Amino acid sequence: MPIEIKVPSVGESITSGILGVWSKPDGSYVKTGEPIFEIETDKVTSEIVAESSGQLKHLVKAGDTVKIGQVVASIDEKAKAPAETEPKKEATTKKEVANGTVTAPARTAAAAPVATSSARGKNADDLSPAVRYQTEEKGIDPASIKGTGKDGRILKGDVLAVENVEKTSSPSASPKQASASTGERTSRRKMTPLRQKIAARLLSAQQETAHLTTFNEVDLSNIIALRTKFQDRFVKKYETKLGFMSFFVKAVVHALQIVPAINARLDGDEVVQNHFYDLGVAISTEKGLLVPVVRDADKLSFAEVEKTIAAYAKKARDGKITLTDLEGGVFTITNGGVFGSLLSTPILNPPQCGILGMHTIQDRPVAIAGRVEIRPMMYLALTYDHRLVDGREAVTFLAHIKEVVENPAAVLLEV
């Protein structure tokens, strides 16, 4: 009797998801441990592997909504592997070659399996499920992609890079012209579970919290000077770049320690005070905004913060973020400045009661000691839950962030 493949539980409170892509076609032979499909939920995308070897049969289509525990496929263990006779053919060919009796077609067949390492990941069977899904969905030929992974393997980021180049270089790639070619004025698609979850959480935050935003601006001259002076030495020692985010993470930790009211949350009619500093750092992905958590940020060095954020960004691009990565943050930092945003009012990430919005850096004229100077300035926005935090505390919190960012030595001296 074939083995049933059910949708596994991928986290508490998750009852359904979308079967995003089949990694193996219907009727194909799969081996134990091989990925067979991806399940996309409102939080993460998980890769499901075969529990045993056999012939795979699809019971639902890619894109269908499935429930946890639902049978979506079966594996017939009695089916024989189609490649079992191939080694004998190869041995015969090698013998013919040794005797000098091989014909031209046989020589070609014998030479076919030989390939350089740079060609790995070009064939459909060598691609990871995420890469295969992206290339098929976007109509990109894997052979045209230069892989940056180990032994030339194609990564998901390589596919996205090619897509971005095609979008900017090809006028025909625009949605307006694409719809014109099909004669349709509009198109319709279902919201992904992640997009639905984001929408629900944003609406809930707007309706259930007394959110208010206060603003300030910071001069980044000293941080830029430090990065310029020590960047090469920093990269050489830690093998990662010194970015702006680590300075802001340290500044937020410093401000939370001075204004602990923002490091708290409401639980019914009780205030839960946090005595740890797990900070969420928003990362934009093609599927939506994810907020992985930098654990114990107060205990990490600048290099450790940068490496942690870089690792999360890579996991997000590769679709490997887990629920554990996203849970338990006490405060969030989001940087709309990377997209050119000059000013915004970030929305709270419940149950947290504070979120800091960073924005683009602009050279602006400012008054310094009675003189007008051009300085690299950034607007900061702090949105907070007014049920827990008063305006005085919010303004004080933002003022301390400004002080640390403009005088980064204060972090090292812990003053």
Query: What's the mean per-residue pLDDT of the chain?
Result: 81
Task: Provide the residue type at 195 as one letter.
Answer: R
Q: Is the pLDDT of residue 403 over 90?
A: yes
- Which of these CATH numbers, 3.40.50.300, 3.90.25.10, 3.40.640.10, 4.10.320.10, describes 115-176? 4.10.320.10
Locate 318 and state its tokens: 């590769």
Whether 137 contacts 38, CB under 8 Å: no
Which of 56, 59, 34, 57 is closest to 47 using CA atoms? Answer: 34
Specify whether the CB–CB gap between 403 and 247 falls below 8 A. no
Q: Which residues pair with 288 in a beta bridge?
A: 285
Assigned CATH for 3-76: 2.40.50.100
d(C-alpha 142, C-alpha 123), whole Å: 7
DSSP state of 339: G
Of the candidate ranges 187-191, 194-198, 304-308, the one whose mean pLDDT is the lowest: 194-198
Q: Does residue 108 surpass a pLDDT of 90?
A: no
Checking if the pLDDT of 264 tops 90, the result is yes
Give the pLDDT score at 366: 95
CA distance 27 to 25: 6
Mean local confidence (pLDDT), 217-224 = 96
CATH 4.10.320.10-classified regions of the chain? 115-176
Residue 248's nearest CA partner among 215, 212, 281 is 281
**11-63 tens-digit pLDDT:** 655 777 788 788 888 888 888 888 888 887 766 777 788 888 888 999 988 87
Q: What are phi and psi of 51, to 5 degrees?
A: -85, -20
* CATH 3.30.559.10 residue ranges for the chain: 194-413
Question: Predicted confidence band at 278 (pLDDT cuts at 50, 70, 90)?
Answer: very high
Tokens linked to 79: 């089916």
Torsion of CA 148, 149, 152, 157, to 10 degrees: -50
pLDDT at 406 over 90: yes
> pLDDT band for position 156 (50/70/90)?
low
Range scoring the smallest mean pLDDT among 17-21, 107-111, 209-213, 263-267: 107-111
Q: Is 28 helix (H, G, I), strand (E, B) or coil?
A: coil
Structure-token pair, residue 40: 């996309």
Is the pLDDT assigned to residue 122 strictly greater than 70? no
- What does the alpha-carbon distance between residue 289 and residue 281 come to, in Å, rounded to a whole number? 10
Helix/strand/coil (H, E, C) string of 172-216? HHCHHHHHHHHCCCCCCCCCCHHHHHHHHHHHHHHHHCCEEEEEE
Residue 226 is predicted with a pLDDT of 93
Percent of the chain with pLDDT over 70: 77
Residue 349 neighbours by CB under 8 Å, 6+ apart: 201, 205, 280, 291, 329, 332, 355
The closest alpha carbon to 248, from 293, 328, 306, 308, belongs to 306
Inter-helix orientation angle 245-258/302-317, to 10°? 120
CB 19 within 8 A of CB 37: yes
Of residues 94 and 308, more confidence is placed in 308
Among candidate residues 52, 64, 62, 45, the one with its CA nearest the CA of residue 4:
52
pLDDT at position 157 is 67
Range from 71-75, 93-97, 404-408 that averages highest in pLDDT = 404-408
Which superfamily, per CATH, for 194-413?
Answer: Chloramphenicol acetyltransferase-like domain (3.30.559.10)
Alpha-carbon distance of 23 to 130, in angstroms, equals 9
Per mean pLDDT, which range of 143-152, 196-205, 256-265, 267-276 is the poorest? 143-152
Q: Where in the chain is the domain with CATH 2.40.50.100?
A: 3-76
Q: Which residues pair with 67 in a beta bridge?
A: 16
Residue range 374-384: mean pLDDT, rounded: 97
Would you name the residues annotated as active-site residues?
Answer: 386, 390
Q: What is the pLDDT of residue 404?
A: 94
pTM equals 0.63
Q: What's the pLDDT at 198? A: 75
For residue 22, the number of C-alpha atoms closer than 13 Å in the C-beta half-sphere is 18
